[in-house]
């Protein structure tokens, strides 16, 4: 592999990654804005947001993962110039997203019933229950947005979702401020105002993303192919589920570990839970930025994989790794330097601020591990390798990270810091295993590159 072709992957990867970064950040910035605004009203409402986000995000990422199977399949079909196949993926992808969104929204009626059994402070649970219902309702438009977004991104069209996410987040910030405090002529709804603002913003995202895909001139050939048979087919849905379900399960294992860690920290009291919400909010911002590079890796690796170019797929993945290493290393340094200043944007309780600052040190330490594991997942998805990463996530987070965090946090009395050190250990394990797996895959790919059906041979 010469240096010149490897460097040629830099600009295309960045061109795909930065819009996806901003688009992915849209998901987490909703929680960042909600936490910042609600946190000004007190530590108990902030703790309630933490509990609500922890519970709802686990379910949300399962849905998001289901849609992420669309992108590598679209990228592969695009690499083969399969217009008919892309039409089928558009139909099946949107149908799958819509049905999944309805199921997730319906779960919002049941999940609040489980909150009192999580051993959280009663005042926190009372505030969290109605919030959760509205947040789950917002999952339906979010999934519609995702179905169209993942199709467009599989074709390398990443700027449109970015622009829509930026616009929707600006709207969410304005509405959140207005509804929570009764400003801008809006009714004062307190903490619940942030939830309603999120629902309105996500409806707008879904409408505008659908309008783009269904009207853009450059996507006309795929719409025409989809119009020939606008009903979903069982084989196509099964293929999407075979790829998307393991991704959703892997994301659920990972996010579930972080959410359960929040529940464990909630056993320590509202102060530590509020501090956890601040630190995890900040860490989520950098994670979602790195996940943009991971999404670019999925698109680039998937396109080369679909075109039977094993060397190109390998180089594209390694370039994504290098970009993530540099970016997350820089973010870790920023967190170290700003760890005492950042918490004040959320809450001014000195105990909460001090606890959050110590957790941000751990967050700085796991920046590189967090970034490398998400880009590893993205690169492997481009190869349609999704089942083994799910098993790795299950073992690393639930057999190592959480038990270790419980021992450090409760047996050794390190509190929230011990729980976070357990998470750091799990992230590092996943990052190492996935890097090794991706590095070995291209060797196998080059050995079968001349086979007529390399995708089948690689599975």
Q: What is the pLDDT of residue 118?
A: 80
Distance CA 182, CA 11 (A): 46
Distance CA 337, CA 333 (A): 6
- What are the mean pLDDT values of the chain's consecutive 10-residue runs (459 residues total)? 61 78 67 70 75 80 88 87 92 95 89 82 83 90 94 85 82 87 86 88 93 93 90 90 88 86 87 86 82 87 83 88 94 94 88 92 91 92 87 92 95 94 94 90 46 38
- Helices 416-447 and 367-382 pack at an angle, to 10 degrees, of 30
- How many angstroms from the chain centroid is the CA of residue 54? 13
Distance CA 55, CA 30 (A): 15
Q: What ranges do the domains of the chain cover?
A: 3-458
Q: Considering the entire predicted model, what is its pTM?
A: 0.75
Q: What is the pLDDT of residue 116?
A: 83
Q: Which two tokens stand for residue 64?
A: 């998001």
Other CB atoms closer than 10 Å to residue 229's CB: what's the count? Answer: 13
Q: What is the pLDDT of residue 454?
A: 40
- 3-state DSSP assignment of residue 440: helix
CA–CA distances in Å: residue 151 to residues 317, 333, 426: 21, 35, 32
Q: What is the pLDDT of residue 3?
A: 43
């Amino acid at each position: 592999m010469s240096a010149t072709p490897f460097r040629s992957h830099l600009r295309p990867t960045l061109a795909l990654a930065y819009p996806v970064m901003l688009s992915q950040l849209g998901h987490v910035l909703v929680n960042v804005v909600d936490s910042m605004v609600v946190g000004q009203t007190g530590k108990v409402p902030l703790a309630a947001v933490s509990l609500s986000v922890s519970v709802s995000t686990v379910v949300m990422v399962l849905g998001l993962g289901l849609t992420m199977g669309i992108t590598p399949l679209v990228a592969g079909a695009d690499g083969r110039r399969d217009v008919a196949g892309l039409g089928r993926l558009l139909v099946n992808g949107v149908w799958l997203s819509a049905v999944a969104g309805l199921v997730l929204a319906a779960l919002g009626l049941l999940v609040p019933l489980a909150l009192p059994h999580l051993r959280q402070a009663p005042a926190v649970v009372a505030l969290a229950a109605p919030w959760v219902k509205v947040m789950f309702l917002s999952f339906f438009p979010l999934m519609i947005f995702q179905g169209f977004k993942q199709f467009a991104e599989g074709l390398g069209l990443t700027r449109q979702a970015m622009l829509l996410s930026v616009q929707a987040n600006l709207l969410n910030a304005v509405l959140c401020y207005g509804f929570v405090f009764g400003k801008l002529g809006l009714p004062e709804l307190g903490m619940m105002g942030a939830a309603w603002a999120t629902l309105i913003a996500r409806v707008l995202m879904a409408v505008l993303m659908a309008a783009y895909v269904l009207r853009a001139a450059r996507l006309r050939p795929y719409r025409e192919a989809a119009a020939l048979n606008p009903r979903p087919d069982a084989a196509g849905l099964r293929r999407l589920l075979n790829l998307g379900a393991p991704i959703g399960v892997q994301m659920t294992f990972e996010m579930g570990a972080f959410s359960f860690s929040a529940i464990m920290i909630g056993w320590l009291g509202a102060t530590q839970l509020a501090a956890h919400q601040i630190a995890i909010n900040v860490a989520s911002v950098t994670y979602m930025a790195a996940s943009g590079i991971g999404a670019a890796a999925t698109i680039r690796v998937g396109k080369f994989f679909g075109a039977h170019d094993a060397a190109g797929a390998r180089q594209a993945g390694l370039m994504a790794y290098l970009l993530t290493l540099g970016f997350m290393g820089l973010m870790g340094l920023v967190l170290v330097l700003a760890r005492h200043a950042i918490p004040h944007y959320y809450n001014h309780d000195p105990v909460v601020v001090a606890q959050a600052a110590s957790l941000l040190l751990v967050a700085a330490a796991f920046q590189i591990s967090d970034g490398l594991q998400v880009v590893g997942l993205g690169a492997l998805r481009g190869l349609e390798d999704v089942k083994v990463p799910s098993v790795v996530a299950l073992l690393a987070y639930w057999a190592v990270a959480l038990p270790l965090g419980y021992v450090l946090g409760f047996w050794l009395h390190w509190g929230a810091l011990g729980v976070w050190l357990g998470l750091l250990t799990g992230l590092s394990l996943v990052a190492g295993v996935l890097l090794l797996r991706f590095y070995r895959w291209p060797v196998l790919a080059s050995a079968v590159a001349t086979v007529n059906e390399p995708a089948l041979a690689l599975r």
